[in-house]
Every structure is written in C-alpha cells, then in structure tokens.
Structure 1
Amino acid sequence: MAVSRRDLFRGGFTVTAMSALGAAATPVAVGEARAVARPRIYTCTEWGARAANGTIDVLDRKPTYIVVHHTAGTNATDYTVEHAFQISREIQDFHMDERGWIDTGQQLTNSRGGFVTEGRHRSVEILDGGTRHVQGANVADHNSEIIGIENEGLYTSVDVPQALWDSLVQLVAYIGQQYGIAPSEIRGHRDFNATECPGELLYGRLPELREAVAAAMGVPAPEATRSWPLLKTGARNEKVQALQHLLRAHGFELQADGTFGASTFAAVRRLAEANGVTCQPCYAGRSVDESGFAGVTTWPLLVRTVRAGDTGEVARAAQVLIAARGLRFAPDRVIDIPTWQDLLA
C-alpha cells in the first residue's frame, strides 16, 4: 500500500512498509506473467569478441537483482549496429587489458541505438536457459547476486535516447521473465556501490523503468523502495551537513558547513578504506575519482538510532534533516535506519 509523505511524518516519524535493499527478492508468481518476447541479442561471436582468458563462472542458481549501469562514455550520435559492436569491443578491451578481468565485466550491453549485445561470454545461452547465472564483474562485492546491463552513454545531466530506453524495457522484462525477478528488484549500480552510475537522470528514471517492465510482464507495479542518497564533490545542502556531523561523530575533523569539499571527500574515502569498502566505477570514457563519494556503502557505517533528547553529533545530523523539512521531533519517536533513509530521500 502506498504511503504519502504527509502520512510518513504526521505526528513525528513513522516507518513505512516499503521494501529495502537487502530484503529477499520477491519472485513473480507462476501464472501472473504474460509472455515477454525475447529481444534480439547479438552474441560475442557476432560482434567479434576476443576469447575469454579464463574460465567463465556459471553459478547453479538465478540472480536476485537486475542492475542498470551507464558506460559513462561519450553520448555518440552513431546509432548503427556497427557502432554497437565497436562499443562492445572497446569495453572488452578496457576490462581485459586495463582492469585485468578475464572478459567483459557486464553480462549485457545496450547501445544508444537500442542494439543489445552479449557482454561476458555465455551470458545469452545461460539467460535463455533461465535457471543458472553467469557471474560477471560489474558490481563490486555483489557479482554473485546480479545480472548487469551497461547502457552506452553518460546520463548525469542528459536523458537516454528513446531507442535505448525502449530496448532496455524489453530486455529487462525478458530477464525478469526468464529468472522470475520481480520489477521491484531492478536496481542501479549506485544501490550497491558508492558510484554515480548509472547517472543522475537514468537513476531517477528507475521507478519509471520498474513500472514499464511490470506492464510488459503483466504484473502489478511495484511499491517504492528505500535507498541511500549519493553525495559528491560540489553538493551543498542539508544532507551534506548531516553527513559531516556523522563523520565528526566518527572522529573526523571537518566543518559541518553543508558544502561537500575536499575535506569531506577525504574523510569519506578514509572511512571507506578503513572499512574495506570497494569503489568500482563503470567502464568510462572519462576519468573520475569516486573513492570519496558518499553513498550506499557510506551511510550504514555512520547512522545509528537516535531518540528525542539525545545529544552529540549524530543527534545534530538528525536535527539538521528534521529542521530542513519543517518538522518536529515528537518526544515518543525514534529515528531508526529506515527513517534515516526517509529523511535523506
């Protein structure tokens, strides 16, 4: 049942029943889904892939999540299938030669012209079977759980072409059908790692993608999911100020001025390093240091339950977010992890 923002905060803080990342996947019930046509997927042989230089791991189970990426490269205006093949070769070369992987990291690639190609070898064969999972290398620490789609382009400030969007909807619906993955389990790369990927605009369209995929599969549209925000250099708002108070609570010396500058970036990076957090940006036609971005791997290390009357830096972080919303902290309420996510949404 959908819960309005007004209901969420009426009389203090109330936790809603939205699903959270990390909860068990909700499979599509047998008999609910309508048949989704298999999209045209060009195989590694068709686009001229190099042979993998190691064994492709095929897990004897289905993936849990479908993950959307962007390549963070050029927004090309060549929408031909030949260009799609060239992009696939460039990604494979980068992943094998620069990152030292055995093959392309993602299972599938979607070009700006809407042409879908196989990424890691055997991905199409295994996907069509619908019972096993080719393990890729596109989401650090979660590759056994996910099947990833790289979407050609950079979508931080521009939208995706319609052809790419249409092919993405069809492809994700087909994956969902084959593996019994519900539309609610469509995620962005930044839902697992502190990265800008798949770009602010494409990430912002994921609720729309879930609805479109649900319609294509013939299943109910999913409820909203909670997530942690991504903050990066240049951001200036109450979320940054709350982050700075939380960092101060963990012993980092910096001003809580609400501006994400070099000192905040450095503190987040040191926090990640101290906790063994991996930063893994996507294939990129640009070089961006994301090691100090605050995201899904950062916030859980910092937040804790806060009650009315608490003092200290964590309480100040909560008060900053409450004040920014013009709300009051009712004396009988607590801010637990889901409520932190609602405040930061």
Structure 2
Amino acid sequence: MTLTRRDLLRTSIAVGAAGAALPVFTATANAAAPVIASCQTWGAREPRAAVEVLDRRPTYIVVHHTAGPNSGDLSLEHAYAISRSIQDHHMDNNGWIDSGQQLTNSRGGHVTEGRHRSLEALRDGTRHLMGANVGDHNSEVIGIENEGLYTSVDVPARLWNSLVGLVAYIARQYDIAPSEIRGHRDFNSTECPGGVLYGRLPELRTAVGGVLGRAVAHPQTWPLLKPGDTGDRVKAAQHLLRERGSRDLPADGVFGAATAAAVRRFGDAAGLRSDPCYASRVADESGFLGAGAWPALIRPVELSEASEAAAAARTLLRDRSLTRVESRDWRTLLNG
C-alpha cells in the first residue's frame, strides 16, 4: 500500500505484531468529534455538590498521565473501570466533589467524560467546566488523564492516536492554539505526564496543528529537576536555594536527598502548594523543583553581585557581555 501526502497528514504509522507497517487513524482533517462516553454511560457516582461552569473558554489543554499500571487490557469495559477508580480516589481520598479531570483517555484509546458536565461544556464550545487537575490554574485548563505511567516507556499507539484526535477536537471547539497544549508539569512541580509523554508534546502540537491547518509554535517552559539529576541547572538551583536559607547545601550540581530537602523547606517557607500527579495514589513529588517553584525562587540580579543568585546566573550564562538578569530572563537561561 502506498500512502499519499494527504494520507500521511491523516494517519500515523504503527508496527503490527508481525512487523508490518499499518496506517493508523489519528484524526479527521476537520477535527470531527470523537466518541466520548458520558458519566452516565460508564457508571459514575453523582457529584457531592454542583459543579462549576464558567461562562468562558479555557486557555490551555493539559495532558496528564494517571501514573498507574500500564495495563494490557485495552477493552472499553476496562476504560470504564479506570474512570470509576479515578473518581473513587478523587472523591474518597482527596475529598473532592467529583473526578478532577474533564476527560480520560485509556490505553485502548477509549475516551470518557471525567467531571460531570464536561462533555456538555465541550460540545457547547463557549463555556468551561472547571475541574481540579492543575493547582492554581483550574479556571484556565481542560485536563486529559491518560491511563498509564510514562516516565520511561512510550504510550501505546491506540492511546496516542486517540489523544491526537481528542486534542484536535478540543482545540477546534475552544479555538485554542496548538502552542497552548501543555503538560501538567508546565504549571506545577510534578513529573506528570511522565518524561516520555511530555517529550512528545511538540509532536502532539505539530500533529494537531496539521489537523487544524494552523501554525505551530512551541512554548518555552520551566524545567523540572528531581532527585538523580545532575549538571549546571541543578548547580544554579542549589545556589538559589542557598540564598533562600539552605546555606549548608553544597552547590555541587548533584540533585540528591539534601537538595530535595532544601526544595521542600523552600516550598514550606514560601507557602507553595504541592501539586502532584492527581490520579496517582503513591507519587511523592514534594522534593521536585519545577514550574510551581521557579518563579518564587529566582529574582532580578546584577551579575557583579557577590550573591548566590548571581552565582546561579553566572553558572548558566553563555553571553558574558550581559551585566544583569531580569526575572523574565531566567527561563531562557535555564533552557540554554
């Protein structure tokens, strides 16, 4: 079978069990509505209180992973069971009124409604059902929980293809630019949606842009640092943490237990929330340094200062002609 240029825009290639290349449907060119099972269909409990519908559109589409098992059960029944399990956890363990995410995507590529009335708001295209899946940003985001743990393994083809079609549909409904497709870690200090799936977000933006016929720009985001990381970014973070009170922390570029403890102390002192992967029952990400902490940790600095912040900036700086780093410059430095 020979694929034309048009075919390639509408399909992705998956390798079957026998090694043959097979075209796999991703999304129609006009981002047609995917099949989404309603709360009633998968047997959701009633919410404890009225959900909140905002009279405006969300700004971002946020990709999560459930940080649970990578099940081999790709059935529709399993997708429904995952939705019930997440809702039970959110209501019974987190004390929330309902599921936190607006939508759930199973490893089999089955999409279900998360919080009640999410599907109603999405189909309307002008209102936003506020969930509970990104700390301090829930009024801005529509979140998709993707079943599985993607810190070191890739998503299955059926989940990926479903995700592309679903995100394209959401973007069309709410007129959201591909650049506003983000991961949970772009807002909070969390691994979510896992390093592998997060690393594919540029690919997701490009795929959605192709479906919608829109230009694609990739945003610059705060890096995530966690135990086991090494290098100049870790060293810069250690200098900044030293300035914020952890004077005994060595600036050695190794993110170990002492650095994680310093991050936790800084977060407590600054009143920062810990916003881990919400679908997970086991994740401890309290010592991670990411988007939820960087803005409070950095500051404007003169490079001539005899300060820890200046030492942090000098560690990262490539352009030695600069004399001052503004707060807005740190994200660029950290991504350099």
Scaled to the shorter chain, the TM-score interval is: 0.7 to 0.9
The two structures, once aligned, show a CA RMSD in angstroms of 1.5
Letter in 1 for 2:233: K
What residue is the counterpart of 2:230 in the other structure? 236
What residue is the counterpart of 1:211 in the other structure? 206
Letter in 2 for 1:78: D
Which of 214, 226, 245 in structure 1 is aligned with 2:220? 226
Letter in 2 for 1:183: P
Q: CA deviation at 1:252?
A: 1.4
Which of 178, 182, 186 in structure 2 is aligned with 1:191? 186
C-alpha contact (below 8 Å) 2:304/2:323 kept by paired residues: no
Q: CA deviation at 1:36?
A: 1.7
DSSP 3-state at the match of 2:233: helix
Matches within 5 A, 1:1-345: 35-221=30-216, 223-253=217-247, 254-285=249-280, 287-322=282-317, 327-330=318-321, 332-345=322-335
| Structure with the larger RCO, 1 or 2 (CA within 8 Å, 6+ apart) | 1
Find the aligned partners of 1:225 and 1:273 in 2 and give their Cα distance: 29
Letter in 1 for 2:275: Q
Distance change in 2, residues 1:251/1:313 (3 Å): same
TM-score by length of 2: 0.87
Find the aligned partners of 2:240 and 2:157 in 1 and give their Cα distance: 41
Find the aligned partners of 2:152 and 2:176 in 1 and give their Cα distance: 29
Q: Which shifted more, 246-255 or 180-189?
A: 246-255
Find the aligned partners of 1:249 and 1:318 in 2 and give their Cα distance: 13
Q: CA deviation at 1:333?
A: 4.6
Once the two structures are superposed, what CA deviation does each residue of 1:109-162 show, in whole Å capped at 9, x if it has no partner? 000111000000111111100111111011111111110000000111111111
Find the aligned partners of 1:238 and 1:321 in 2 and give their Cα distance: 6
Letter in 2 for 1:315: A
TM-score by length of 1: 0.85
| Structure 2 spans left out of the alignment, 5+ residues | 1-28
Find the aligned partners of 2:330 and 2:34 in 1 and give their Cα distance: 40
Q: CA deviation at 1:74?
A: 0.5
Once the two structures are superposed, what CA deviation does each residue of 1:228-256 show, in whole Å capped at 9, x if it has no partner? 11111121221111100011112212111
Letter in 1 for 2:331: Q
Q: CA deviation at 1:183?
A: 0.7
C-alpha contact (below 8 Å) 2:303/2:314 kept by paired residues: no
C-alpha contact (below 8 Å) 1:70/1:151 kept by paired residues: yes
DSSP 3-state at the match of 1:112: coil
Q: CA deviation at 1:212?
A: 0.6
C-alpha contact (below 8 Å) 1:232/1:292 kept by paired residues: yes
Once the two structures are superposed, what CA deviation does each residue of 1:50-103 show, in whole Å capped at 9, x if it has no partner? 111111111111111111000000011111111101100100010011001111
C-alpha contact (below 8 Å) 1:249/1:314 kept by paired residues: yes
DSSP 3-state at the match of 1:225: coil
Find the aligned partners of 2:333 and 2:68 in 1 and give their Cα distance: 33
Find the aligned partners of 2:298 and 2:213 in 1 and give their Cα distance: 39
Q: CA deviation at 1:334?
A: 3.1
Find the aligned partners of 2:122 and 2:319 in 1 and give their Cα distance: 50
Find the aligned partners of 2:280 and 2:273 in 1 and give their Cα distance: 21
Find the aligned partners of 2:327 and 2:73 in 1 and give their Cα distance: 45
Letter in 2 for 1:321: L
Once the two structures are superposed, what CA deviation does each residue of 1:12-35 show, in whole Å capped at 9, x if it has no partner? xxxxxxxxxxxxxxxxxxxxxx73
What residue is the counterpart of 1:19 in the other structure? none
Find the aligned partners of 1:274 and 1:166 in 2 and give their Cα distance: 43
Find the aligned partners of 1:298 and 1:100 in 2 and give their Cα distance: 25
C-alpha contact (below 8 Å) 1:74/1:285 kept by paired residues: no
DSSP 3-state at the match of 1:148: strand
Find the aligned partners of 1:178 and 1:285 in 2 and give their Cα distance: 29
Find the aligned partners of 1:284 and 1:92 in 2 and give their Cα distance: 9
* Identical columns (%): 60
